[in-house]
Amino acid sequence: MSLTEAPALDSQRNDPTFDNVWDEIVWRGLVQLSTDADELRTLLSGSPITLYCGFDPTAPSLHLGNLVQILLLRRLQLAGHRPLGLVGGSTGLIGDPRPTAERVLNTKDTVATWVQYLHDQVSRFLSFDGPNAASMVNNLDWTAPLSAVDFLRDIGKYFRVGTMLKKDAVSARLNSDAGISYTEFSYQILQGMDFLELYRTQGCVLQTGGSDQWGNLTSGTDLIHKAEGVRVHAIGTPLITNADGTKFGKSEGNAVWLDPAMTSPYAFYQFWLNTLDDDVIARLKVFTFLDRAEIERLGEAVATEPFRREAQRALAFEVTSLVHGEAATRSAIDAAAALFGNGDLHALETAVLVAAVRELPNTTAPVDATIIQLLVDTTLTSSMGEARRAIAQGGVYVNNVKIDDPDATISPFVLDAGVAILRRGKKTLGGVLIE
């Protein structure tokens, strides 16, 4: 796993114009489901509490959906509360049931490696200093020593099968051809046990998670009520979707990862920059620490001067800086400018330049490939004849240099990074990676 510059935690603030952090997270659209809202508002405005969110190691990196939860933990920490980041060393071995099919179980060594990766990622976004310092925990620590008999006697006795069958993911699987294994069926008991353990050992009284986890969240609140006779709470954040209803953060099945080796800072920045006008204000509320007044001002800019894309640029800068640091963000901005002729391609770092090329329609070619052929291979033109006409009309550039010779090869233009940038007209780009 790769790490970029750590977030500047000292500069983060909640918006002081809200009377209560509950009011702020509701305004930011972070509460879709919850236990008693009035009780939560009172709880979060009183003495510091301990809360947690769990992250299962199902991949070697967290993604944008996880970032929603991390930032909610951070906002509540800024309000004086103490967050626990739980990485699921045991639940990651089992797998939260998906609505469609059984998960493939990863090896114990793989899960252990990913646990450390996620531990390091979550840790970067929380403060571990001060009276409400965050802590990281691993549920394998209390699950591994527990025998099957003790698990069934001490925890399983509080769960009713009828209630478990009603959970959305379980119900969907029971009605599918895939069915559900006892392994995944038991996942909600393990997650409920996490909350009970953290209540008993850390005084934890609030769990947060995605609304699609609501059945698992309430398994913990119900278990604590039955086992301890006390009322604890849960908040389910909405699943972030685009205005057209598509799942946020997905592009042809590929998640947008927080690890820069899996989604480069350049690609990460471009993802946010391409946010639709209908979505950008909601994204600013969820993913940035900009205050209400600034977000409302940006909303006016979207309404009156959408062509300037001021809100998108603010969103891309804020979130990329949060995840990858300001230096990496400015490198991504410089790369985008240079690609379109407003900067020096030669001045860009190799990693940034290669990442940028990989985000473009690109092709791999030998160093003596003709530019005409590369225009076709990168889909900038549909035929070699069209490529010749584009050159003759003065509309083809390589590394921002106009091409006049229809027989030119890419060789003189290859940058030190082993790449070259093709451009047709002002805005249509393609990339070449030299073999």
Residue-wise pLDDT for 358-387, tens only, equals 999 999 999 999 999 999 999 999 999 999
Residue-wise pLDDT for 301-334, tens only, equals 999 999 999 999 999 999 999 999 999 999 999 9
Establish if 248 belongs to a structural domain. no
CATH number at residue 366: 3.10.290.10
Which pLDDT belongs to residue 34? Answer: 98
Between 265 and 3, residue with greater pLDDT: 265
User: What's the length of the chain?
Assistant: 435
Kindly state whether residues 199 and 128 are assigned to the same domain: yes
CATH number at residue 316: 1.10.240.10
- Alpha-carbon distance 52 to 137, whole Å? 10
Which pLDDT belongs to residue 76? Answer: 98
Answer yes or no: are the C-beta atoms of 77 and 83 closer than 8 Å.
Answer: yes
Which pLDDT belongs to residue 1? Answer: 66
Structural domains in the chain (count): 3
Which pLDDT belongs to residue 371? Answer: 97
Residue 29's region, left for phi above 0, alpha for psi from -120 to 50, else beta, is left
The residue from 320, 349, 378 where one domain ends is 349
Establish if 237 belongs to a structural domain. yes
Kindly state whether residues 191 and 314 are assigned to the same domain: no
Kindly state whether residues 291 and 376 are assigned to the same domain: no
Kindly state whether residues 307 and 422 are assigned to the same domain: no
Establish if 54 belongs to a structural domain. yes
Establish if 258 belongs to a structural domain. no
Establish if 251 belongs to a structural domain. no
Q: What is the reported pTM? A: 0.92
Which pLDDT belongs to residue 241? Answer: 86
CATH number at residue 188: 3.40.50.620
Kindly state whether residues 227 and 289 are assigned to the same domain: no
Kindly state whether residues 90 and 164 are assigned to the same domain: yes
Which pLDDT belongs to residue 166? Answer: 86
Lowest mean pLDDT of 69-73, 124-128, 201-205, 237-241, name the range: 237-241
Residue 252 has pLDDT above 70, yes or no: no
Kindly state whether residues 365 and 342 are assigned to the same domain: no
Residue 431 has pLDDT above 70, yes or no: yes
Kindly state whether residues 344 and 365 are assigned to the same domain: no
Q: What is the DSSP string of 171-239?
A: HHHHTSSS---HHHHTHHHHHHHHHHHHHHHH-EEEEEEEGGGHHHHHHHHHHHHHHH----EEEEEPP
Which pLDDT belongs to residue 8? Answer: 82
Kindly state whether residues 24 and 143 are assigned to the same domain: yes
- Alpha-carbon distance 209 to 279, whole Å? 22
Average pLDDT over residues 65-88: 98
Residue 249 has pLDDT above 90, yes or no: no
The residue from 349, 378, 398 where one domain ends is 349
Establish if 257 belongs to a structural domain. no
Kindly state whether residues 136 and 275 are assigned to the same domain: no
- Domain that includes residue 206, residue range: 9-242
Q: What is the DSSP string of 315-347?
A: HHHHHHHHHH-HHHHHHHHHHHHHHTTSS-GGG
Establish if 55 belongs to a structural domain. yes
Which pLDDT belongs to residue 17? Answer: 97
The residue from 349, 380, 403 where one domain ends is 349
Establish if 252 belongs to a structural domain. no
DSSP H or E run through 365: strand 362-365
Which pLDDT belongs to residue 104? Answer: 87
Which pLDDT belongs to residue 392? Answer: 96
Kindly state whether residues 78 and 194 are assigned to the same domain: yes
Kindly state whether residues 222 and 285 are assigned to the same domain: no
Average pLDDT over residues 197-220: 96
- Amino acid letter at 42? T
